[in-house]
Amino acid sequence: MGRARSGDIEVAGSEGTPAPGAGTRLTVEIERAEALRLLAAAPFGRIVFTHDALPAVRPVNHVIGADGSIVFCTRLSAGLVPALGRSVIVAYQADDIDPVRRTGWSVLAIGPAHAIAAGELAAEYARRLGTWDDPAGALFGMEPTLVSGTRVIEGGAV
Amino acid sequence: MGRARSGDIEVAGSEGTPAPGAGTRLTVEIERAEALRLLAAAPFGRIVFTHDALPAVRPVNHVIGADGSIVFCTRLSAGLVPALGRSVIVAYQADDIDPVRRTGWSVLAIGPAHAIAAGELAAEYARRLGTWDDPAGALFGMEPTLVSGTRVIEGGAV
């Protein structure tokens, strides 16, 4: 946080101290393993899909299945209406951005999502997800086939 | 969290008081005017577009132009490469979600984006946006043709 230098408190932004958010920023790529770790630890993310030929984005929470799939719950009316056994390509995005410091990360997974049939596994996922949005929602599992991410960090020189 | 009861303060979650996040949630639609107000006040949002036939999501900050357009800065390499004068349909999303209470809102705007040519207006937008991500980025303005939003609120009965 800034350069608190003390007599008492010298807040970031006082003379000679760069304000939070000032200075150059570097964008660096995040590799797959780290991107998946960040995604798993994120409290929620966003399903990105096509609905009536238009882009749609829906925030939901998620858990990671034993097979590495990203599991979330949403209403079938959301446009994710593959018949059981069929799958549809969706994207799942999460980020953690500090708009004051202008740093943070963003991760995007792309892959096929399929409805999870009722059963023991579905019940466990539903329990781990907890109630969210619509209790009438349906469970989906998404295979993170393509995973990419970027991190914006503070640059060296200011 | 949990059920701290104690003589002094009875926090949410103590007996008879639902824990944060418990109980039903209602999803209500946000009308266009309010959705645009929420978007304008959000500290950042996400451009959703198609890149090499795959979905892409990029967090950026934004300002609202005098004509109501959503103005943001991103690298041309982001896939938003219309020749000046041409436009491309993109989506812009912002949300504010409380993952503990499981409430919040999400807004999505869809419309044509076009590069903003260098000039007085571009300089003003760049100043208002400040430095973010890549100083080598290019300015885009997006007309919010379609605007939708949803809010998740706590339901009545628990």
Tens-digit pLDDT profile for residues B34-69:
999 999 999 999 999 988 888 899 999 999 999 999
pTM for this model (two decimals): 0.82
pLDDT interval class at A95 (50, 70, 90):
very high
A134 touches B at CB < 8 Å: yes
> Which helix (DSSP H) or strand (DSSP E) does residue A41 occupy?
helix A32-41
Average pLDDT over residues B104-113: 96
From CA A142, how far away is CA A65, in angstroms rounded?
9
A79 touches B at CB < 8 Å: no
Q: Is the CB of B146 less than 8 angstroms away from the CB of A54?
A: yes
Average pLDDT over residues A5-32: 61
pLDDT over 80 at B13, yes or no: no
Q: Which stretches of A80-151 are DSSP H helices? A: 120-129
CA distance B84 to chain A (A): 24
pLDDT over 50 at A2, yes or no: no
- Do B114 and B86 meet the contact criterion of CB atoms below 8 Å apart? yes
E-state strands within B65-102: 70-74, 88-98
The percentage of chain B sitting over the pLDDT mark of 90, rounded to a whole number, equals 47
Report residue A28 CA to chain centroid gap: 17
- Do B90 and B49 meet the contact criterion of CB atoms below 8 Å apart? yes
Burial A139-157 (b: 16+ CB within 10 A, else e): bbbbbbeebbbbbbebeee
